[in-house]
Amino acid sequence: MSKKLIWSIPAASVLGLVCLWPQLSMAQAPAKWPTQDISIVVPYPPGGGTDLTTRALAEEMGKALKTNVSVINQPGASGSIGTIAVWNKPHNGYTISANGLLAFASYPVRGFTEGLYKDHKDWHFWIATYSPNAIVTKGGPDAKYKTMADLLAALKAKPGEITFGTAGVGSGGYMGSEVLKMGTKLNYKHIAYQGGAPAIVGGLSGEVDIVPQLLMEMVDHIRAGKMNALAVLMDKPFKLSGAADIPAITDSVPATKPFLPMGESFGIMVPKDTPANVVQAIDAAFKIAVQSETVKKFAAEKGSIILALSGNEAQAHVAKLLSIVSWTLFDAGQAKTSPETLGIPKVK
Amino acid sequence: MDWQYFLGVLQFVVQPMSIFTMVLSVFFGLIVGMLPGLTATMAVALLTGLTYKLSNEVAILSLVAVYVGAISGGCQSAILMNIPGTPASAATAVDGFPIGQRGEGGLGIFIATASSCIGTLTGTLCILLLTPPLALLALKFGAFEFFLLALFGVMICGQLTAGTDPLKGWISGILGLIVSQIGMDGMNAYPRFTFGEINLMSGIPLIPVMIGLFGFPEIIYGLVSSTARAQIKTSSLEFKKGFGIMLRNKLNIIRSSAIGVAVGIIPGVGEDVAGWLSYWAEKKSSKTPEIFGKGAYEGVVAAETGNNACIGGALIPVLSLAVPGSAPAAVLLAALWLHGLRPGPLLMSESPGFVIDISVYMAISAIAMVFLALLVSKVTVKILAVKSTILMPIVYVLCTVGAFVISNSIFDIYLVFVFGLVGLLLREMSYPAAPFLLGIILGPMADNSLRRALVLSSGDPSPFFTRPISLIFATAIILMALSQLNAFGWLRKWLVHSELKE
């Protein structure tokens, strides 16, 4: 018995140290920034759009800041888990949040961030790239739909039966489907997958008729002819290297115009009360990184456009997304809180 | 086969820098795999960050090497301490631990390592020769099949680990499935059983549960019985006996490799399930199923061959569809993208040599792994000779740190204690813990796939019995449940009875 007791003392003290460790290491606020490695939290599993964009950006930002910028994946609940985790960390710039801003804009009305931060004005944003939604279907000789007209005819003939596979409610694919629905006034059947990749597999195998995910997730399947891109949710055609131009949705469904461009823009953010010198350092590193060859090559390969927004421009971009997304979700009955009570204006 | 690519990659791997990186990565993988809580996924993710600056070839070689090392390393802690180093070696512990307790720890590690190597090599062969046709298998699995596969996995695990009464295994599995429902659901992001606790929103994380279920009871029992437990002699590797065992298991190895590769190809189902399925298949076809769970060499061979063959399988959809077959493969896919490669339908035309490159990397990593693992095991087998009063506090600290570093969350340490107590209770009442863990792994897949399936069919359950792969799984599940309820006994009795009447 006494032997056990003796051993329990060092065991308990080691455990105590382990528990206190994070608090101890975060106690001192550094004057010079950065003095340690920076992590960017991607709130999705690796390999998705946010993850790939962030990794390309992180590498270049690390070079500019002369430190290690590592990417951490902390997935769950449409990315809100990782975002909340960053908010709950010290606001010192060592933990940066990455996100798709469409997904991010959906959190307030869905009640994910209640009691944490009020809205997007509580964050600084840097927006790197944009990739539109593409209305895509299984390609090859047995393709069901060859053009947007084929799909519209099918939607009209069997309302609520054509299946759209997306990465879940509130995802880019879901928003794209909803925009198409608002433009055509035709209903579809929503099939939620656990992420973009499984939805694309569903499209390739024919489990779902349409995959309205982001162009960047499907470019190689389109280039290889395994999938047909019927339209992009932009008001001009998309010139994709290594494949035919993809028609604009406005050619076939002009009524979608007010909601365009629809797609996901990717960027990083830190809470607003992060020290000013840290925000400046991130800003400078971002501006170098986003114009680097790595990011340019990445965008061209991945069916994306470089936006490079920061400061007020980025705030305005998020504000527009917020109103489209919040009201779309609210009209679809998917919002927990009305955007009106949150003070989010309606689009137009 | 394009021999010039083959020669090119061979020239690359014999360079001192390549060999050095590969050996270092395999070694790192082995150590990470051995430590409970540090998984293969984490090893690949860590190294992805470290290899940014290296050239493409060296970076990818090191990532493949660490993947192979980590999946192979988990068997050592499973055999020596009954704590699987990664979820992939949970099936190895069933027979591996009794082998270690028998004083044959060295032999156990030898056959586990040899099986791992052979499994990896078979997986490699499949990548090299069969990538395009096998990738089609990934597209054959829809929502219906995923649900039934998840159910099947939990059921066979329950049946395998429960000893005398499979019902206890199933109960444990169902408890795991229930716990996996905590958190936001995958369809509508509705928080279930979270009671407003923000840490529960993302669900119960796997690794703290695994450490709690397996590690905690071992520590408690180790300390309680410290005086009673006889010290186990360290054993040598016994190469000759080991080779004999491997030779006798030819059929087992072929079957387990095939199962491992197939499980790997199916997206989202990984090394852990591969280990269990191969173990199950071996026990089913064995003439002496009663020795399983009591230290059967066949069980270790099956589980380790299966989980390592899964690596090759998991890479097949990565290379041909850009869809990962398992969690570590998902990180590897992201790393390939980062290094400017574009796995997916264009890979074969854009970089035709890449499939050969990755196969060669895997093959040499597997061979390096055998030597390194056996070298490391010379030290690790001595663990059995360490007194519990010294060993267990160290294991305890390692377990707690392991749980913490996954997401740097103190909440995860609390979870270790909560599930540690669950594990202790389960063990006291002789319920197996492994099905509980597999329930948590497969729960979200079962849940989301079932609901997606029913939305797709507008609520009609008949596709579960009309799609070919579904039908196979459904039949297997029903047969397993019926045989457990002794339905066949009743049927026989009834038939005999009615014959007598006539």
Tell me the three state secondary structure of residue B207. Answer: helix
Tell me what pLDDT residue A46 has: 66
Question: Quick one: pLDDT at residue B233?
Answer: 58
Query: What does pTM read for this prediction?
Result: 0.77
For chain A positions 323-342, those within 8 Å of chain B (CB to CB) are 334
Taking 70 as the pLDDT cut, the residues of chain B under it are 1-2, 37, 49, 52, 163, 189, 225-237, 384, 406-408, 499-502
The domain spans of chain B are 3-384+392-466
Residue A346 confidence (pLDDT) above 80: no
Helix, strand, coil content of chain A in percent (nearest 5): 45, 20, 35
Cβ within 8 Å, pair A220-B342 = yes
> What average pLDDT does range A127-146 have in this prediction?
88
Chain A residues 248-267 with CB within 8 Å of chain B: none
* Cβ–Cβ below 8 Å for B342 and A301: yes
pLDDT for A272: 87
DSSP state of B104: I
Mutate to test the interface with A, among B67, B411, B452 (most CBs of A within 10 A): B452
Enumerate residues 270 to 329 of chain A having a beta carbon within 8 A of any beta carbon in chain B: 297, 301
Q: Which residues of A touch B201 (CB under 8 A)?
A: 76-77, 80-81, 84
- Confidence grade of residue A28 (pLDDT, cut at 50, 70, 90): very low
Residue A308's region, left for phi above 0, alpha for psi from -120 to 50, else beta, is: left
A243: chain B residues, CB-CB within 8 Å: none
pLDDT tens string A252-271: 999 888 888 888 889 999 98
Contact A169 B187 (CB under 8 A): yes
C-alpha B211/C-alpha B231 separation (Å) is 24
Token pair 């995923």: residue? B146
DSSP 8-state code for residue A133? B
The full set of domain ranges for chain A reads: 36-131+264-331, 134-259
Report chain B residues whose CB lies below 8 A from the CB of A110. 189
Q: For residue B299, what are its two tokens?
A: 């069980």
DSSP structure string for B316-337: HHHHHHS--SSHHHHHHHHHHH
Q: Which amino acid is at B273?
A: V
Right CATH number for A36-131+264-331 from 3.40.190.150, 3.60.9.10, 3.30.70.20, 3.40.950.10? 3.40.190.150
Return d(Cα B102, Cα B108) in angstroms, integer. 10
Q: Residue written as tokens 């809470």?
A: A271
Of B140, B201, B226, the CB nearest to A77: B201
pLDDT > 80? residue A247: yes
Neighbouring C-alpha atoms within 13 Å toward the C-beta of B457: 17
Sequence-separated (6 or more) residues with CB below 8 Å from residue A5: none
How is B40-99 classified by DSSP, letter by letter? Answer: HHHHHHHHHHHTTTS-HHHHHHHHHHHHHHHHHHHHHHHHHHS--SSGGGHHHHHHHHHH
Average pLDDT over residues A312-316: 85
Give ipTM to 2 decimals. Answer: 0.78
Q: Which residues of B touch A334 (CB under 8 A)?
A: 188
**Would the pLDDT of A26 be above 70?**
no
User: Is the predicted pLDDT of residue A4 greater than 70, yes or no?
Assistant: no
SS3 B264: helix
Q: Chain A: nearest CA to B112, how far in angstroms?
A: 30
Do A220 and B444 count as a contact with CB atoms less than 8 A apart? Answer: no
The pLDDT score that the predictor gives to residue B82 is: 86
Separation CA B452–CA B143 (nearest Å): 6
Other CB atoms within 10 A of residue B125 CB: 17
Q: How far is B277 from chain A (nearest CA, A)?
A: 23
Label residues A157-190 b or e (16+ Cβ within 10 Å = b): eeeeebbbbbbbbbbbbbbbbbbbbbbbebebbb
A142 φ, ψ (degrees, to nearest 5): -95, 25
Who wins on pLDDT, A139 or A20? A139
The whole-number pLDDT of residue B384 equals 67
| Best mutation target, B47, B405, B410, to test chain A (most A CBs within 10 A) | B410
Q: Does position A13 have pLDDT exceeding 70, yes or no?
A: no
Most distant CA pair in chain B, distance: 83
Q: Within an 8 Å CB–CB cutoff, is residue B322 touching chain A?
A: yes
Return the H-helix or E-strand segment holding A295: helix A293-301
Model pLDDT for residues A65-112, shown as the tens digit of each residue: 888 888 887 776 677 778 888 888 888 888 899 888 888 888 888 777
Cα–Cα distance, A212 to A175 (Å, whole number): 9
Average of per-residue pLDDT across A198-214? 90
The class that CATH gives domain A134-259 is alpha beta
